[in-house]
Each structure stands twice: as C-alpha cells, then as structure tokens.
Structure 1
C-alpha cells in the first residue's frame, strides 16, 4: 500500500479535495510558574539545564526582580494581578483579558508544601529589567507566563481535509489551521516561532484541485519503527518527580546533581543515561530492598512520597517528630536486615555472569563438582561466593583465558593509545588474545594495568571536559580557576590524570557543601 501510494503521488500533478470539516481550536494559557514548571520551561524554551535555570532564577530573586522561587503554589497576589491586567488592558485592549488561570492547588484540592505565591515579577508593570542577558531572558519568560495567566484564549480556525489522488487506494488526510486571535500568545512572541495567521493558498472548497509539489525529496518514502520510550531529560525527570509527589521545590535540582555527582547517571545530549555503576546498583542491589513481602520497596516513589508526607505532618503539627523518626528507623533497619538475608539466599546477576563466563573453559566433571549438581538458578549467594573463590584458584593454576570484559577493555585501551591490538599484545610478549591468562593475577590483568598507566598522559576525554565544565558551573567557579589547580592554563592542556584529579576535588567540594547546608 505504501509503495503504490508513493508511486501514485510521484506520477500525479493534482489532488482533489473530497471532504472539508470546519472547526475552531482554542488554546488556554497556563498558570504562573511553580518551581518545577519553571525548570521545565527553562529547558524546553531556553534550552538551559535545570541547574542553570535554578542559578539564574536565584539571582533574579536576590535582586528583587521576582518573588520566591522555591514554591509549588500557583496562587498570586490580587494586587499584582490587578497591575498586570491594567498593563494588558492599556496595551492590547479588553479582548485580550481572561478570567485568570490557576492550578489545582489554588482550587484547594492539591497538597501544597507552603504558603508562598507562584513565581511572578515583583513589579508586574515592569516588562524588562537592567540585568545580564540570561537574567533578562528568564525574567521575560517569567513575566510572560504570569501575564498570560490573566489573558484570553488564543483562537485558530481549523480545517480537516481529505483528498484523492489517482492511483491511491485510500484518501489522504491532513489538517490546516491558522490563528485568528493571538490572545495570551502575544506576550510569548519572542519565544515562539513563526505562526500561520492566514489560510493556505489552496482553495478550501470541496472538489477543489490542489497541485502536488514535486521535488527531490517530495514525495518521500519514510520507514518508521516502534521506538522504545525516550530517556528522561533533566526537565522531564522533574515533571515525573512532581507527578509522583516526591521531592520538593528546593530539592529538584540538588537531586539531579547528586545522581550525576555520584556517578549514577550522565547527562548526554539532553538525556539522563545510567552509568555502569547506576545499572549495577539497580540490577544488583535494588531488588534486595524492593522485593520484600508486605512492604513498599525502599527504592520506589511510594516509599519516598510516604516519608515526605510524614515530614509534612510533622511540619504542620499533626505528627510528633520523634515518633515519625523512630518509626522510619525501625522500618529501614528491618528492610536492611531482610535485604541482607535475601542477599545470602540468591546469587546476584553479576556473580552468575562471572561464574558462567569461567565455567565454559572447564571440563564437565569440574563444572559438576563446583555446582554440586545444581543449576545456576538454584545456587545461593554464599554458594556463589565460594564457587568464585574456587574458580580463582583454578584460574591461577590452569590459566584460563581472559574474560570478555578483560578482552574488551584491552581492545578499547589499545585503540585509545593508537597502538592497535597487535601492539598491545606485544607488550605482554604474545601475539594472540587467547595466549593471555585471565583472573586477577593473570597476564591479561597485568597488561590492562600497563595500558591504563600509559593512558594517563592522554588528553582528557570529552566526557571528562563536559563534567568539569558542569561541576565548575554548579560550584560557581571560573573554569580558569579550576584548571589552575592542576597547573593548566587551557582546557586543551588537560591530561586524563589532571581531569580525574579535578573531578575528584570538585565532587569532594560539592559533598562538603551539601553536608554543611544540611547541618
């Protein structure tokens, strides 16, 4: 069907409109910013990280340009609303005023942490400010969002079209729309792209003929496949946290910073990608705490939401703090002890993978003796540890080949050094990977150590440079000051060792600051 449709479009000059359905689309303005929606808009509209949006908004608040920026309320001061409405009436007319939009919290049905207003301009009549370029941009966005909440809907004419083309088995469907009243969108013009305000050039009548534009890429055959869910971005994880009722306006940014700072995720191209350490934590540790009878798992949104809900009850006087703390400690201790018990009963995926990678090199009789007639699914954690110890002894005496992980690391390091696999193997006095021995004391491990030592003087990797720049930004440090700690004047002078030293120092600084802020 797709191919025949493509051929029909490619060979035809005209399409005939067979059906037109008229309609109107109205778009409502959004409530004023809360912390989470401001962080999301900073990403989607300005292309900023949540840490940058947080930092710039803090500067605006400290300068008195906007109200408090740690809030989950959409309520606003009536006097502030009156001022911005008067400004809008004078500039655009009464047609651009609406009833005013608020979130669910202002309707009295949502759990709001505090009594703060939404994030809005301190002086709504001030449209622009004398500040840095970034502060001006974010202020303009905050002002537009607040002003829009008091404005009318935007309105578009809409036409749902069906058309026939000779040779096509099924009709073509499409939609045309154009804006007839800008409403609240008028204050967002500097952030929005071009908006169609006139109907398309073709005649919008039944039986009208429209020309089919022919070019090198029109028509174009596109093959689309089902894609996995997109990874979380910094802004979408904030939205997910808000929906799950975990975190607070004051903790959204610091939570993401802790995930990246502790090496559980990396931010790459706007996506949060789990690291090997993060994956190992989730696959090897989390199940012991989440798969317990009668308890909500420790690493679940429900557990965190319930805990934070109890803290809210303490804050408003409904619960006695020592009782809440004692209950939490008892529950956590029980979960931890249960996890240790489960840990001993079950081999971890990592243990199983290690054992299986070693067993393939052994004779069937030795395999049976090690497993005692059990399958991998039946061995306990204690048994897995004992088997691994025996495998190490066997490896030291028999010299089994390097593991897949060791072999892959040797290849990667040799590529980084530009010597190729043959050059790396020469360092170990062998010509084939299979001639190396595995295990912690084998020749493969020794070669890896030598290669790692040689890579220390290589230039810093792109991921190291990106992390250093991000840590400098988070700690409000100039990049030149950070580089000076290892005697470098420019980022291009950094070695991998220098970069590792800087990252270690900056992470240590972040952890110390976090501890001081909590104490």
Structure 2
C-alpha cells in the first residue's frame, strides 16, 4: 500500500564561473586533462591566439585566481547575449553575484571568456583541439552561471507491506525547465552516484493498494574510500588548505615525476618509493608533515603580506625548531640505500643468497656477494605479498652484439630488451610491436616506450631520426576497409577497448 506520497518542486542553481582549482577539477572530469596540462593550455588562451584578420586576441581572463568576482561590463555583455539567444525565461531578473570563500585573495576576477562574443564554434578553426575543448568548457560555465535555475518535479513514494513491517521508498524526478543545464552541467566522478533526474514514477495516490509483481534484492558492501583522481586530489588540497591554486598543478606533476605515485585508469596509487618516503618523513618530521602545519603556514604568509606579522619572526619560528629536527634526522634516519633484506632466492650465478635493495628505479633483488657477483633481478610478489625473483622472459630476438638471446627487462621508462648475457654484454633494444613505421622511407618499427611521467606511448625505433609516435597500441593487421598498414586499440570513456583503423576518418571498428 502507498503509505506516503510527496511531491515537491526542486530548484538547482547554476555554479559560479571557474576559479583555478575548479577549472582543474572540471577539466580533469570532463576532458581527462592533468592539472599541469590544463594550466598550460589556459596560459596560451590567456596570452592570445591568432584569430585570422583580427590578429592575436586574449580569449580568457587571468587563470590563477581564487575569486568568483565578475566585472560589471562582463555581466552586462553575458546578460545581453542570453537575452538575444535564448528564451526570456532563461534570463534572471538581475545578475547573479557569487560570494567568495572567506580566505580568497580576490586579486583577479573569476576565469571567464574575455568576451562571450567569441563563441567556441566560431573560433574553433584557430584553436588546437585541446584549446577548443578547454575554452568551450570555460565559455559554457560562464554563460550558464548567469542563467536561471533548472526546475525539477521530484516525487517520493513510500510503500509498506506486511502490515507496515516493511518499507520501500522510490525517488523520481523529471526536468520541468532545464534552465542553465541547457548550456552546462557539472562533471561527476565515477564513484559519485547519479541523481534520479529523468526517472519517471507511475501515478499513484496515497492509500492506494498495490500488487507485487516481482521483488529483486541487491546486496551491497561498505566500500573503502575511493582512490584520488586529479579532480578529487585538487579538491582535497583546496579543502585542507594545502598549497595555493597556482601550485596545485606543480604538486601533482612533482609526485608523478618523482615516482611517488603511479596513475592507473585516472586514479593515483602510491608506489613503494612513495610509501617509504612518506613513512620516513612523517616519522622524522612529524611537526612539518602535518596538514594543519601547512595550512597554518599559508595563513602566516598571508599575515606577512597584510603587514600583521614580521617575516623574520615567522622564519625564526619555523627554522629554529626545524634545524634541530634536521640535525636529529641526519643522525637517526634510516639509510635505505645501505639496507639489505634477505630473501629465500638463490643467485643463479654464484649460489649466494639474494637480497632486496633500493635503487633509483625502486626495489630490486641483488646478489649478497656484490661486488664479486653483480647479478640482479626484478622483484615479483605473490598474492600474499611474498617476495620472489621475477622470472626472466627470454625472447627469440638475437643480440646484435654477441649473438645470444635478448630478454625482456623493466626499467625506469618501461619494458625493453636487454641481452641475457648481462653484465658481460650490456646491449639493449626497444620492444617491437610487430608493426613497421608508416613514415615513408623510414624503415624503422613501432616499439613501446614510456614518458618521464610513466605514461606508455608507441614510437619509432629510429628516434630521434624519426619522431613518429602515437598513444594507441598498434595491432599488426591491415585495415580491411581502407588498407591502412595497421590497426590500433582504442577505448572511449566508460566503454570497453575496441580495435579500430589507424585513420579515424575511415570508421572501421571491431571487438578485440
């Protein structure tokens, strides 16, 4: 029986235009841009792009800001644009003014188009694809911020059974007026639940008896907190008061470049090196490695700027105790490079016990008889975390220097072929994907490589003589539709990987 029926109108107001941190978060969600890339593209849009006969035009306002403030002339222009291009119902009676955060410096206004007259579609020909996508995001958000709210009709139906012992609740809402969502909607993380917009519930009345047609159950478990993405990590930095909007991109790129984290499917995972560094620093510098300390230091810097604090006093308050902590750490901190952890693995060259050591590329297994024996192996761990040697994968590729077989090895920039006779022979070769380089007259082949940040890409073996490269993994099959020399693996957001033609305009696609 329907025990309760509730209907109400829900209004969803538009979000303010972008600040630096919000731009980085939304660009990560919608465009999958790292924060560093977002800021680099925004810098170019701010500095100006050549727009044909008009010459160089700055397309956005300054991109390092924590303010929602909008200039009066910009408000007049965007309201005029909405009035001319949309139904009158979309334009509020007066301009929307958004309140800044309590600690906002407000040195620059919000990130917005320099002029809404430069519509994204009209200037697309003058921008790269990434520049266009980011500019469109900024333009849409700004225009939407000055529109009326979206209006939804929300329905909640409570149904009871078993004499009132069991309660079932259904939510549904239907968009009555789209408002600002006709231009812009906020991106969501994969773990964030979607709302019930668009879900229509049947017409019922309170007290109406219902007939059970079917009953389905779904078991759910408590989930651990999700891994950080670019967007959620920037949000966490902002909420905890760590760094400034202008430093978020540098923070994220630094932890990746130093191999403290690795990125898989858009999520950050700490590496062994990152975990070790964190443990050592937190243990030896607990006062500094505290979120509250970092946020307090930011406040002290603000006070110096405002003339409330003396910079020398602030420096002394920090450095005098820090110097003592540093002296103590130098004397007591573990020397990781000298540590050796014994294993059950026996050296296959001299019979000595192998030990786990730390190198510039992380953990590895080395012979305890070093330097007499220089045998090393990569580390492998089973499902219980037990360490073992990683079996060397011998290939059919012959070493061009000594004639022995090459083996697959792992280095800082990914997998490569190294001579199985190492250290006697130190020859190395890139791993071929079985595909010849398509550049005319090159003669090289495509091989797997890795950027300094650890991202895999595929480039010509004759680099730097040939700079051909692509992100998609090549598949050694000729396209049956257009005859392209090879196919590639592709995947769209939320879709499974598929095999497609090298040339996107061909359109050939199949399951893997």
TM-score, scaled relative to structure 1: 0.62
Matching of residues 97-496 of structure 1 within 5 Å? 97=92, 100-105=96-101, 110-128=102-120, 129-131=122-124, 132=127, 133-163=129-159, 170-188=166-184, 200=200, 202-206=202-206, 221-290=217-286, 297-340=287-330, 343=333, 354=341, 411-414=389-392, 416-417=393-394, 457=429, 459=431, 465=449, 467-468=451-452, 484-485=463-464
* Superposition deviation, residue 489 in structure 1: 5.2
Q: Which residue of 1 aligns with 2:77?
A: 83
CA contact (8 A) 2:65 2:106 kept: yes
Q: Which moved more, 1:220-229 or 1:152-161?
A: 220-229
Distance 1:482 1:223 in 2: 51
CA contact (8 A) 1:179 1:195 kept: no
Q: What is the DSSP-based 3-state SS (H/G/I as helix, E as strand, rest coil) of the residue aligned with 2:320?
A: helix
CA contact (8 A) 1:33 1:74 kept: yes
* Superposition deviation, residue 244 in structure 1: 1.5
1:120-176 superposed Cα distances (whole Å, 9 cap, x missing partner): 111134333413333232222212222232222222111111235789962321101
* Superposition deviation, residue 487 in structure 1: 6.9
Counterpart selection for 1:93 from 88, 91, 116:
88
CA contact (8 A) 1:156 1:181 kept: yes
CA contact (8 A) 1:263 1:275 kept: yes
**Structure 2, unaligned stretches of length 5 or more?**
49-57, 189-193, 345-367, 372-376, 397-419, 434-447, 475-512
Q: Which residue of 2 aligns with 1:10?
A: none
1:361-406 superposed Cα distances (whole Å, 9 cap, x missing partner): xxxxxxxxxxxxxxxxxxxxxxxxxxxxxxx79x99xxxxx99979
Q: Which residue of 2 aligns with 1:43?
A: 28
Residue 339 to residue 196, structure 1, CA distance change in 2 (3 Å): closer
**Structure 1, unaligned stretches of length 5 or more?**
1-15, 291-296, 359-391, 397-401, 420-447, 474-478, 494-519
* Superposition deviation, residue 264 in structure 1: 0.6
CA contact (8 A) 1:246 1:304 kept: yes
Count residues in correspondence: 390
Q: What is the DSSP-based 3-state SS (H/G/I as helix, E as strand, rest coil) of the residue aligned with 1:171?
A: strand
Q: What is the DSSP-based 3-state SS (H/G/I as helix, E as strand, rest coil) of the residue aligned with 2:262?
A: strand
Q: What is the DSSP-based 3-state SS (H/G/I as helix, E as strand, rest coil) of the residue aligned with 1:119?
A: coil
TM-score, scaled relative to structure 2: 0.63
Q: What is the DSSP-based 3-state SS (H/G/I as helix, E as strand, rest coil) of the residue aligned with 2:5?
A: strand
* Superposition deviation, residue 456 in structure 1: 5.2
Residue 65 to residue 23, structure 1, CA distance change in 2 (3 Å): same
Distance 2:27 2:134 in 1: 8
Residue 196 to residue 163, structure 1, CA distance change in 2 (3 Å): closer
1:156-197 superposed Cα distances (whole Å, 9 cap, x missing partner): 1111112357899623211011111222222227989x9998
Distance 1:469 1:354 in 2: 29
CA contact (8 A) 2:430 2:461 kept: no
* Superposition deviation, residue 298 in structure 1: 1.5
Distance 1:451 1:168 in 2: 77
CA contact (8 A) 2:70 2:109 kept: yes
Distance 2:199 2:17 in 1: 32
Q: What is the DSSP-based 3-state SS (H/G/I as helix, E as strand, rest coil) of the residue aligned with 2:70?
A: coil
* Superposition deviation, residue 56 in structure 1: 2.2
Distance 1:490 1:452 in 2: 33
Residue 327 to residue 189, structure 1, CA distance change in 2 (3 Å): closer
CA contact (8 A) 2:285 2:325 kept: yes
Distance 1:316 1:170 in 2: 61
* Superposition deviation, residue 226 in structure 1: 1.6
Counterpart selection for 1:73 from 51, 67, 91:
67
Higher relative contact order (CA closer than 8 Å, sequence separation 6+): 1
CA contact (8 A) 1:246 1:301 kept: yes
Distance 2:13 2:423 in 1: 60
Q: What is the DSSP-based 3-state SS (H/G/I as helix, E as strand, rest coil) of the residue aligned with 2:451?
A: helix
CA contact (8 A) 1:119 1:142 kept: yes
